[in-house]
């Protein structure tokens, strides 16, 4: 990751997930059908067995992330904040 290069925050997120995934095989990524927008598609291409597209189901994604965390995985659940907040009501 080049720290002097200006790129979109979400692109940095995708790159950082890939870098973390290379260092730790317990890192898993969940996405709510937005991998192109959140740039988690970078992680999905590099680590397809550790990427989960949960569809448009943020509540399920968060519950799944909790279960993965309680079993020793390190989940990153990715969606837009407005969807995560709306679905939790």
Catalytic residues: 58
In DSSP notation, 11-75 reads: HHHHHHHHHHHHH-TTEEEEESS-HHHHSTHHHHHH-GGGEEE--S-HHHHHHHHHHHHHTT-EE
Q: In 10 A of CB 54, how many CB atoms?
A: 20
């Amino acid at each position: 990751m080049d720290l002097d290069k200006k790129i979109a925050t979400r692109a940095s997120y995708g790159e950082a997930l890939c870098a973390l995934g290379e260092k730790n095989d317990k890192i898993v990524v969940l996405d709510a059908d937005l991998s192109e927008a959140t740039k988690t598609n970078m992680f999905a291409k590099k680590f397809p067995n550790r990427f989960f597209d949960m569809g448009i189901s943020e509540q399920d994604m968060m519950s799944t992330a909790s279960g993965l965390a309680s079993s020793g995985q390190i989940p990153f659940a990715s969606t837009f904040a407005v969807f995560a907040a709306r679905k939790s009501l």
